[in-house]
A = this chain, B = another copy of it.
């Protein structure tokens, strides 16, 4: 007995085969068509969305994430145009060589196939993720939240119309119809349909994926990011970088959560930092509190968490080694910065700190797909397999070996 989800999955799988053969032009043009129709049909989408927002009972940030508006829809359309304009990631040939037996080898960049994305309220994710998938030749199989189901379905239908208009199969973008937990678990276990799962959401979604998924997934995990202010740092630069990394957008994963300061510069740096970001609560060790009387006493847990708020943990360290060890212990492998004028210390940081991104004299806030020039991102991976850091179009592809011979046998 085939479930409705399994039947839908077979159609998506089949559609992915045709999409993988689409031309660059077909794929880009589909995105541009969706960008136009989002704006043309904005009123309808806003109406559907307003009804869902009104029906939304929980309080907190979920309501805002669920809400669309004219400017938000314009931003969605602009994102599609940007991704359409990005270079085609497909069919690049790498590592060409000829073996001693005359076999010609190469590796060809091809789509993954079907990408499953599980996400929470935001309906804009529906459009962004479909765009990255289709641009890279992948079918997008989407499982959004039940509160946004009608908005998501409206956006998915625009996609399906656009695909068909460009000679591509509608099922290359599909939305899971059943919003139940049971269906979500079934979805994460569709090894015959999905080549890759990407969770876009908080710790409970990540935990559910770790527990239930049978399909390989790429984790978009926490960012407990550090800035280390070295003995040789330009302190004015250090204050500017820490202030930016902490306060420009405290709720995102590339915001800094802890500053580590070399003891020789702490007496000058910490009071200056405290004056520069008076809105931020500092939680420090004893050395910090001796220099910044207003700082709260930090407990162990303060070094191990993402505040995602205007709170910054502070620790005075005796050496670069101590800073690196602290990051190894508490970091989540996201983005880790040093401020230093010493090239040796910069190199030691780059080489010895184990994270998706290491930065020298720059704010951790630069670690996202747009800032690194990837033309959008489907998430920021904090694992090491497949993709590390922002996942753009190229991270939605894989390499296929191509071997051409003249009858060689072994």
Whether the pair A404, B362 counts as a contact (CB closer than 8 A) is: yes
Closest Cβ of chain B to A277, distance in Å, is 13
Closest Cβ of chain B to A380, distance in Å, is 11
A99 to B362, CA, bound (A): 13
B-side contacts of A218, CB under 8 Å = 385
Q: Please tell me which stretch of A42-50, A142-150, A236-244, A283-291 contacts chain B, meaning at least 4 of its Cβ atoms lie within 8 angstroms of it.
A: A236-244
Closest Cβ of chain B to A10, distance in Å, is 11
Q: Mark A334-363, 1 if CB is under 8 A from B, else 0.
A: 000000000000100011101111111111
Closest Cβ of chain B to A389, distance in Å, is 5
Main secondary structure of the interface of A (DSSP, over half): mixed
| Cβ-based interface call for A193 (8 A) | no
Q: A346-B404, A360-B403, A404-B346 are in contact. Are A409 and B367 (CB under 8 A)?
A: no
Whether the pair B356, A400 counts as a contact (CB closer than 8 A) is: yes
Closest partner residue, chain B, to A210 (CB atom): B214
Whether the pair B410, A244 counts as a contact (CB closer than 8 A) is: yes
B-side contacts of A65, CB under 8 Å = none
B-side contacts of A383, CB under 8 Å = 195, 216
| Cβ-based interface call for A85 (8 A) | no
How many copies of this chain sit in the oligomeric assembly?
2
Q: Please tell me which stretch of A25-33, A105-113, A261-269 contacts chain B, meaning at least 4 of its Cβ atoms lie within 8 angstroms of it.
A: A105-113
| Cβ-based interface call for A165 (8 A) | no
A407 to B238, CA, bound (A): 8
B-side contacts of A389, CB under 8 Å = 400-401
A358 to B401, CA, bound (A): 6
A123 to B269, CA, bound (A): 57
B-side contacts of A3, CB under 8 Å = none
Closest Cβ of chain B to A333, distance in Å, is 9
Closest Cβ of chain B to A399, distance in Å, is 6
B-side contacts of A195, CB under 8 Å = 383-385
| Cβ-based interface call for A63 (8 A) | no
B-side contacts of A87, CB under 8 Å = none
B-side contacts of A359, CB under 8 Å = 402-405
Choice from B360, B365, B405 contacting A410 with Cβ under 8 Å: B365
Number of chain A residues close to chain B: CB under 8 A: 69
Whether the pair B408, A113 counts as a contact (CB closer than 8 A) is: no
Q: Mark A213-238, 1 if CB is under 8 A from B, else 0.
A: 01011110000000000000010010
Choice from B211, B400, B409 contacting A358 with Cβ under 8 Å: B400
Closest partner residue, chain B, to A337 (CB atom): B403
B-side contacts of A408, CB under 8 Å = 361-363, 366
Whether the pair A410, B363 counts as a contact (CB closer than 8 A) is: yes
Whether the pair A384, B407 counts as a contact (CB closer than 8 A) is: no
| Cβ-based interface call for A276 (8 A) | no
| Cβ-based interface call for A164 (8 A) | no
A328 to B105, CA, bound (A): 23
Whether the pair B328, A409 counts as a contact (CB closer than 8 A) is: no
A195 to B381, CA, bound (A): 13
The 6 A-B pairs of least Cβ separation, nearest first, read: A362-B405, A244-B409, A357-B401, A386-B386, A237-B407, A385-B386
Q: List 5 A-B contacts (CB under 8 A).
A: A99-B372, A195-B385, A361-B405, A367-B401, A389-B400
Other contacts beyond A350-B402, A356-B400: 11, CB < 8 A: A103-B362, A108-B350, A113-B354, A191-B210, A244-B410, A358-B400, A360-B405, A361-B405, A361-B407, A362-B403, A367-B401
